[in-house]
Amino acid sequence: MSIDDPALLDIHRRLLDALERRPSSTRPALARDLGVSTSIVSLRIHELIAAGLVVESGSAPSTGGRPSRTLRLASALSPVLAADLGTRHARLALAEDDGTILDLVDLDIDTSSGPEVLLPSLADRFDAMLTDHGRASPGSVCIGLPGPIDPDRGSVDSGARLPGWHGFPVEQFFADRYRAPVAVENDADLLALGEHLAHTGIRSSLSVKAGSALGVGVVIGSRIHRGATGSAGDISHVRITGTGDEPCSCGKTGCLDTVVSGRALGRQWNRLTGGAAGTDDLIASAIDGDALAVRLLRTAGTRLGEALCLVAGFFNPDAVFIGGRLSTVEVFLASVRAALYTGCHPLITRRLIIEAASTGENGGVLGAIARAREIKPRA
């Protein structure tokens, strides 16, 4: 019988029809459905898998013997869309059902343009990525935003870092657009999830995003721990004594953010040097060994490490990961580590992993892909 034989094509077509009607069928179930022998179905399914039209998707519950593999149409494996947004930059991803990245796109954005302008343009870009890869619609979507998130509403819970975004229904916007489940998460939480999942053998971790602002995400058992109001890990506005009572964006003074965030350090650097280049110049100068820049980042790392001692002592995580731009400076990282070792009980630090985040610029988007896969309906 040749591959073009009408009888063979007919069985192929009937098998594809049956899998469209009943995803997760097994070979014996398909044989019963079509009224042909299991050996014929096995042979034809083998050909359809080789042609990339059908995939094995799991195992059916065993009825005594070896469990049968379940089958699905390859086209039913809808991809996921993920975005990690900063205030000026966004990284968008299209990924397969199994997390394999198909496309990554970097965009310069301006969140101050507001969600009514920015979100439709992001969705248009998502649409172009789907079209480029021949995909019709996503199975789920995850959007990371640089601000506090109301986990029940899927919206931004404060306009302090995202003016004009407070209460805008981000989750609803993408749910209406794609008719798929949508998760809206804080960027530091997604970075924490992405970094956590990049390591094996750890159950709980803290991840610090030491960028222009300071953020901390908590992951327990491979899931984001949000807390009662979505603010778990937010230690940026804890008051630190001896900071010179710098005013903070939250309206208070002397917050951890005013001594550790890249934005605050850039301001200090400009004041001390009379320049205007801010954080980028500070980081470059510290890497070059400039004594003043090194001192500023050493102090910031020590302050952060001291604050993390309380969290690590309370939470006893397997790992503390430090990401964000400041983590690229060795003296900053070494000072965090030293303060943790000095300030924590040895039982806390005995096996504690303290490392620079390994996922770099991709941590947030990897976390967003993982979160999108988590909420995706399973066939």
Binding region for Zn ion (CB under 5 A): 237, 248, 250, 252, 255
Distance of closest approach, residue 251 Cβ to Zn ion, in angstroms: 7
**Nearest CB to Zn ion, comparing residues 214 and 283:** 214
Alpha carbons 258 and 261: distance in angstroms, whole number: 6
Which helix (H) or strand (E) is 375 found in, with range? Answer: helix 363-375
Alpha carbons 77 and 80: distance in angstroms, whole number: 10
Q: Which residues of 264-298 are buried (b: 16+ CB within 10 A; e: fewer)?
A: bbbbbbbeeeeeeebbebbbebbeeebeebbebbb
Alpha carbons 145 and 24: distance in angstroms, whole number: 36
**Nearest CB to Zn ion, comparing residues 303 and 376:** 303
Strand runs labelled E in 211-323: 214-220, 223-224, 319-323
**Nearest CB to Zn ion, comparing residues 185 and 257:** 257
Bridge-based pairing of strands 149-150 and 155-156 is antiparallel
Distance of closest approach, residue 212 Cβ to Zn ion, in angstroms: 14
Distance of closest approach, residue 237 Cβ to Zn ion, in angstroms: 4
Distance of closest approach, residue 54 Cβ to Zn ion, in angstroms: 55
**Nearest CB to Zn ion, comparing residues 13 and 252:** 252
Distance of closest approach, residue 259 Cβ to Zn ion, in angstroms: 11
**Nearest CB to Zn ion, comparing residues 37 and 253:** 253
